[in-house]
Amino acid sequence: MTAMKITIGICVKNSERTIRGAIGSILSQKYPKELMQLIVVDGYSTDRTLPIIKTMASEMGVSVEIFSDQGKGLGAARQMVVDYAKGDCIIFVDGDVELQEDFVQKQVEFMEKNPKVATAVGRYMLKEGNLLSTVWCLSNHVSSSFLGNDATIYRSEVLRQVGGFDGNIRGATEDTEAIFRIRKQGWAFSVNEKAGFYHNCRDNIKEFWKEQAWFGSGNHYLSHKRRLSGPLWRRTPPGFFRYGLKLAIKSYRLTNRKISFLIPPLSVFANIAWWFGFGKAHFTGYGHETS
């Protein structure tokens, strides 16, 4: 067993529906608890997110450090974890994610075997839910381009060398922007297929729309700070339908589930929401200050 110290960073806001599963999966890790530091940064939650975290941690006898992002948003919240982290590596776990019980151990082993890798996301596993959440999880499960801080490990030293996270990013894409700078410095980003995690996808249309619009807003910020990966015209509904169809075929071949063919229309819906968020960010000027 390795002796690497690990910081688990959880940045949350109003995650009452899913936080029990997330915290429970962290506390159930096979990795030695004495080598794990748990940091929570809350974004002014108005539900029972924080009481649930405190209760579960105390019942398991685990010490947890809790901070507030003071309303500054996700970029600042991620950076607070970096600032207070004592671990050699930081694993970010979102409040709607559940880790397999050997996730931390598998990520640590992966980083030890791959010294040129600075950050690695785990393997996105299929999580059953209602029709909406299951279809979207199928889409992400078979996608080869999934990138995010849902369940991702970073070398702490590398994160600090590149300046950490952009504190001006209030919502999504703080991970994409940081990984871009990490890779620019010659470090590798990878996927660790042995470290599985589950994502509790949005289970109603309203929340799903809000999430996808949130991604669009974050990408507007990125479009001004640096070039997006590919021209914007490729991010149109027809393009997303074609991409969704490829994922649907791959998903059906892998799982033999007919609901896989709901991926293309759901991808188009997600893309429309994405453009709504992108346009709203443009008219409010979010990201213009970076140009």
Angstrom distance (rounded) from CA 87 to CA 38: 10
Residue 202, pLDDT > 90, answer yes
Q: Are residues 136 and 235 in the same domain?
A: no
Q: What SS3 class is residue 189?
A: strand
Q: Are residues 112 and 144 in the same domain?
A: yes
Q: DSSP label at 7? A: E
Residue 290, pLDDT > 60, answer yes
In which residue are the tokens 């909406």 written?
132
Interior angle at CA 51, CA 22 and CA 24, nearest 5 = 25
Last residue of a domain, one of 203, 221, 244: 203
Q: DSSP label at 260? A: G
Compute the average pLDDT of residues 36-62: 92
Residue 115, pLDDT > 70, answer yes
Residue 227, pLDDT > 90, answer no
Residue 116, pLDDT > 90, answer yes
Angstrom distance (rounded) from CA 166 to CA 173: 10
Residue 145, pLDDT > 80, answer no
Q: Are residues 117 and 70 in the same domain?
A: yes
Per-residue confidence (pLDDT) for residue 35, from 0 to 100 = 93
Are 252 and 258 in contact by the 8 Å Cβ rule? The answer is yes
Q: Are residues 53 and 166 in the same domain?
A: yes
Per-residue confidence (pLDDT) for residue 110, from 0 to 100 = 97
Least confident of 51-60, 101-110, 141-150, 186-195: 141-150
Residue 18: how many CB atoms within 10 A of its CB?
A: 18
Percentage of residues in the chain with pLDDT exceeding 70?
A: 96
Q: DSSP label at 185? A: T
Structure confidence at residue 230 as a pLDDT band (50, 70, 90)? low
Contacts of 80 (CB under 8 A, 6+ apart): 39, 41, 67, 69
- Domain span at residue 156 reads 1-203
Residue 55: how many CB atoms within 10 A of its CB?
A: 13
Angstrom distance (rounded) from CA 235 to CA 215: 13
Classify residue 159 as left (phi > 0), alpha (psi -120 to 50) or beta. alpha
| pLDDT mean across residues, the chain | 92
Q: Are residues 32 and 78 in the same domain?
A: yes
Q: Are residues 190 and 211 in the same domain?
A: no
Are 42 and 12 in contact by the 8 Å Cβ rule? The answer is yes
The pTM of the full predicted model, rounded to 2 decimals, is: 0.93
Are 10 and 98 in contact by the 8 Å Cβ rule? The answer is no
Angstrom distance (rounded) from CA 124 to CA 8: 18
Question: Do the strands 89-93 and 97-99 form a parallel or antiparallel pair, or are they unpaired?
Answer: unpaired
Q: Within a domain: residue 291? A: no
Per-residue confidence (pLDDT) for residue 226, from 0 to 100 = 75
Domain harbouring 14, CATH code:
3.90.550.10
Residue 234, pLDDT > 70, answer no
Q: What is the pLDDT of residues 159-170, one digit of tens each?
A: 999 999 999 999
Residue 229, pLDDT > 60, answer no
Last residue of a domain, one of 187, 203, 219: 203
Q: DSSP label at 244? A: H
Residue 109, pLDDT > 90, answer yes
Last residue of a domain, one of 203, 218, 239: 203
